[in-house]
């Protein structure tokens, strides 16, 4: 079994695909399996993938049923102990990042890194916490371009939910950690670069994201939501108290302690 498999999905994004593939095939450490799933592109992507086939263990160009159907196709073909989804357009942070990190990918179910996020001409490093409580995952998620997932988790939890258009990877992570108690490890390095031009980054899709998340939470974590609601109310109350002029005056006068 390979140490890990890198999976790239693509549809009519030749320029982005080239950026992704080049960052993978030019790595200084090459002991991994590379899989490319193309959705039947008509922009020259298939021809480009074929030109790189000596570096790719498996590739296909055929119509699919969406992003998560394509990712599931990649999972079905992967033989790695760990899987990394580096989708078309995104790329590894530099050409030595796998050499520097391959020996860290071990034991834990989920191993995640920081992510370089590019928005137009601006770039910043998004840092992820070392602890992943439900209160964090309900609002955020892990970056699939910078997260290694043990392939056996997909046998335990199931493949990506193809009924969801945008948040199936979020559903997988929150179920893995909060429902199935998967182990995880944060490595405080930057693994990949992500461009804010994808489906989940499109403002017009925010309503779909909200609706899909609410349905997942209702079906799987309804009892948690009561606690989260009460916790948020308490946080808001505490925040308002801290902003209160009267409270701050009492603190200055030494009549109450700062909280």
Interval 101-130: pLDDT, tens: 999 999 999 999 999 999 888 999 999 999
Q: Which range, of 46-50, 184-188, 199-203, 248-252, averages the lowest pLDDT?
A: 199-203
Question: Cα(47)–Cα(29) distance, rounded to whole angstroms?
Answer: 26
Helix axes 67-77, 168-178, angle to 10 degrees: 60
What top-level class would CATH report for the domain 4-220?
A: alpha beta
8 A C-beta contact, residue 104 and residue 113: no
Question: Cα(73)–Cα(69) distance, rounded to whole angstroms?
Answer: 6
Q: Is the pLDDT of residue 254 over 70?
A: no
Q: Is the pLDDT of residue 256 over 80?
A: no
Q: Render pLDDT for 167-179 as a digit per residue (tens, 0 to 9).
A: 999 999 999 999 9
Tokens of 99: 């050499």
- Domain ranges across the chain: 4-220, 222-259
Tokens of 203: 């403002």
């Amino acid at each position: 079994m390979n140490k890990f498999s890198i999976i790239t999905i693509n549809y009519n994004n030749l320029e982005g695909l080239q950026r992704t593939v080049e960052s993978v095939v030019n790595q200084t450490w090459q002991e991994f399996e590379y899989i490319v799933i193309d959705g039947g592109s008509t922009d020259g992507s298939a021809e480009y993938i074929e030109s790189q086939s000596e570096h790719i263990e498996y590739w296909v160009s055929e119509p699919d049923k969406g992003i998560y159907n394509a990712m599931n196709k990649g999972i079905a073909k992967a033989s790695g102990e760990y899987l990394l989804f580096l989708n078309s357009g995104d790329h590894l942070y530099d050409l030595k990042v796998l050499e520097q990190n391959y020996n860290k990918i071990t034991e834990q179910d989920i191993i995640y890194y920081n992510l370089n996020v590019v928005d137009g001409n601006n770039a910043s490093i998004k840092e992820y916490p070392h602890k992943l409580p439900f209160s964090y995952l309900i609002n955020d998620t892990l970056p699939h371009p910078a997260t290694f997932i043990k392939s056996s988790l997909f046998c335990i939890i199931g493949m990506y939910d193809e009924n969801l258009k945008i948040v199936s990877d979020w559903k997988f992570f929150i179920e893995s950690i909060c429902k199935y108690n998967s182990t995880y490890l944060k490595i405080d390095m930057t693994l990949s670069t992500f461009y804010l031009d994808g489906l989940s980054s499109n403002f017009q899709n925010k309503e779909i994201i909200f609706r899909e998340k609410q349905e997942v939470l209702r079906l799987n974590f309804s009892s948690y939501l009561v606690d989260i609601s009460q916790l948020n109310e308490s946080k808001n109350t505490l925040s308002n108290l801290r902003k209160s002029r009267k409270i701050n005056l009492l603190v200055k006068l030494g009549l109450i302690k700062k909280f």
